[in-house]
Amino acid sequence: MERLQKVLAQAGIASRRKSEEMISSGRVQVNGTVVKELGVKVDPAADEILVDGKPIKNEQTLYLLLHKPKGVITSAKDTKGRKVVADYLPGIKERVYPVGRLDYDTEGLLILTNDGEFAYVMTHPRYHVPRTYRATVKGTPHGKVLEQLAKGVKLDDGMTSPAIVDYHDVNPEKNETVISITIYEGRNRQVRRMFEAVKYPVIRLKRVQFGPLHLGALPRGKFRHLTPGEVEELRKAAMEAEQTSARPADSQSVQKKN
């Protein structure tokens, strides 16, 4: 027996949070009865479960890694006719949705899946799955600026949690610096806002790692299927982070890389 919202999420109907909203609004029936209470347990093999009058189907579970290009919406569709991540998934007939978001101007690692429970674990704040970015900024921030970013900076929605920050590359001719930053939160445009707060605006931003998963050499605009081992590593990383509340306790050391 499983909770109804978990069954809906695993069937690819929606994320667990969205499934809960669907239940509360009376859109779900179990064995002919509308269920509005959360936490009801069902047997997906024996119970008839309908959403908006249609029976749910257990789709093949997919876990994809896309190298999202800049200028693409992290959505399945867009009313303004702009490019969306679904446009870069040829041959994928199942309905998949992004795990978290990358803003329009940010490229890099994006996970997509039809496993709502997996998406919930990967993005819920209680699990603190780390995300690593390469931020190209104007100018060369001195060490104290990076220490400030590592300790946390004040944004309009509160202080950021401690981060891991390092120099990655410096280009004196262009007056640009590439900074590697790992955060443990998923606020809207967080990395860009953090650098704006310390007066070093981001020119380019790329996510290169999500938990133990690396973007690697995957070309821009291409995708691949995650291996079962990679999916298990992601789940394990999230569970370990929850159990240990794994976050940097203090500001991290900042070292210039040659």
Catalytically annotated residues: 103
Helix (H, G, I), strand (E, B) or coil at 3: strand
Contacts of 90 (CB under 8 A, 6+ apart): none
100 near 122, Cβ under 8 Å?
yes
Residue at token pair 């009313």: 79
Cα separation of 31 and 29, whole Å?
6
Decide if 72 contacts 85 (C-beta within 8 A). yes
In this structure, the number of other CB atoms found within 10 A of the CB of residue 5 comes to 27
Q: Cβ contacts of residue 251 below 8 Å, gap of 6+?
A: 147, 150, 151, 162
Nearest 5 degrees, angle CA 49-CA 50-CA 52? 160
Residue bearing tokens 């605006």? 201
Helix (H) or strand (E) holding 33: strand 33-34
